Structure 1
Amino acid sequence: MTTIDPRFDYCELLLQHDNPAQVPAPSLPEGYAVASDPLAYRDAWVALMGELRFPGDLDEHRAHWAAMTETDPELFSRYSAFVVDEQGDLAATCSLWPGRHFSPERLRIHWVMTSPSHQRKGLARVAVAECCRRFAADKPGEPLYLSTQAQSWPAIRLYESMGFAPYEGAWSDRTAEQSAADWAEARRLVREVAGAEV
């Protein structure tokens, strides 16, 4: 996961699942497991950020990790689902972390990544579903959201297949009308440029 299509300009979009308890829980492929201690994977997580060409250098990626794990290691551990292979190598990740889009802050899906050598096995789907399960257990009845952009239209299709829907309400400094217009433009561009529907 985290495939960025460079043909699109950046425009932030939100997706939301109104009942994350209903997200299907897919099975892990043979040879994979959900790690019991996400905090043990700092170097692998930082390396994966670089491998997937997230903006910034390795020092900035380490700073992202530190910002989460040093601020609230219990929260990070509770809401991080790291999938590892038979050798214990990091294959896919998903975490929940407080987002800035609403007031008061709400947890959102964050840092969904799959190592290129482990892609197309459904591992991101498993990691996201596991985070949804934990969230729903702790916060029954609360919606769960995520931030994305048209550049990540393959990820949008994954999330929509799991029951997430475009959020076209007001958030941060965006009105509901602006949010709806952003989604309409993203759908148009993805259809015209990538030949896909979101």
Structure 2
Amino acid sequence: MSVLDRDIPYRNVLMVIPKRRVEKEIPLKKGYSYIPYEDALFEPWCQLQYACNLFDSLEEAKRCLSRFLEKDRAFFEDNFLFVVDEERTLVASAGLWPGHHFEEERLRVHYVAVLEQAQHQGIARAMLSKLCVHYDSIPSRYPLYLATQS
């Protein structure tokens, strides 16, 4: 599947890493690189998320990102990844953000998206490994989890 299939009925699915399992970061393939967040990425991030069908509209994606930045911009900048290609086009993003699926707030992997034309290049795998290694540097405790849907 290249984008979220909204024809499948929604069922919340939690994927849990109960303890530290990722020992090292998997590098991105040649031609892709990480860049830090800057305001010029606002629109491309929203377009990426919408293109992957993670939001019903571009406006909904913009409202979500605006809320993230208003709530804690520094945390967002420190905990979200942005992958660009050689033309510096945003092709993927993923991050750590608080979730409420357990008794208390804890970090989760959130908004993993890779443009269809950049899929099957190991980008999501590289981002997830980088986020797991980063999670281990944050004073937090397991489990780390990802909330997805059927």
Give the TM-score normalised by the residue count of structure 1: 0.68
Q: Conserved in 2, the CA contact under 8 Å of 1:35 and 1:83?
A: yes
Report the equivalent of 1:55.
Answer: 55
The corresponding residue for 2:109 is: 109
Corresponding pairs, count: 150
The amino acid of 2:137's aligned partner reads A
Residue 141 of structure 1, CA deviation: 5.0
Please report how far the alpha carbon of residue 140 of structure 1 lies from its aligned counterpart in structure 2 after TM superposition: 6.1
Q: What CA distance in whole angstroms lies between the structure 1 residues aligned with 2:99 and 2:132? A: 15
1:125 is matched with which residue?
A: 125
With normalisation by structure 2, the TM-score equals 0.88
Q: SS in structure 1 opposite 2:71?
A: coil
Whether 2:42 is the aligned partner of 1:42: answer yes
**Which consecutive unaligned segments of at least 5 residues does structure 1 have?**
151-198
Instruction: Find runs of 4+ consecutive structure 1 residues off by over 6 angstroms.
Output: none
Q: How far apart in 1 are the matches of 2:4 and 2:24?
A: 25
Rg comparison, structure with higher value: 1
The Cα of 1:104 is off from its aligned counterpart by 1.9
Higher deviation after alignment, 131-140 or 73-82: 131-140
- Report what 1:28 is aligned to: 28
Residue by residue over 1:98-124, the C-alpha shift from the partner in whole angstroms, topping out at 9 and shown as x without a partner, is 112123200111100001121110111
1:84 to 1:8, Cα distance in 2 relative to 1, 3 A: same
Task: Specify the alignment match of 1:70 in structure 2.
Answer: 70
Identify the residue that residue 137 of structure 1 maps to in structure 2.
Answer: 137
Give the drift of 1:9. 1.7
Q: Which moved more, 1:111-120 or 1:37-46?
A: 37-46
C-alpha contact (below 8 Å) 1:14/1:148 kept by paired residues: yes
Q: CA deviation at 1:54?
A: 2.7
C-alpha contact 2:3 2:116 (8 A) present in aligned 1: no
Deviation at 1:6, TM superposition (A): 5.0
- The structure that is strand-richer by fraction is 2
Q: Is the 8 A contact 2:48 2:115 kept in 1?
A: yes
Given that residues 2 and 113 in structure 1 are in contact (C-alpha distance below 8 angstroms), is that contact kept between their aligned partners in structure 2?
no
What letter matches 2:28 in structure 1?
A: L
8 Å contact 1:96–1:131 — kept in the other structure? yes
* Percentage of matched positions with identical amino acids: 30
Contact persistence 2:4–2:52 (CA under 8 A): no
Cross-structure match for 2:8:
8
Gapped runs of 5+ residues in structure 2? none
Deviations 1:7-39 (A, max 9, x none): 632111111112345255222111111112355
Q: Deviations over 1:31-62 (max 9, x none)?
A: 11111235541110111122222332111110
More helix by share: 1
Aligned residue identity for 2:123 = L
Taking the aligned partners of 1:17 and 1:38, their CA distance within structure 2 comes to 30
Map 1:183-198 to 2 at 5 A. none
Secondary structure class of the residue paired with 1:54: coil
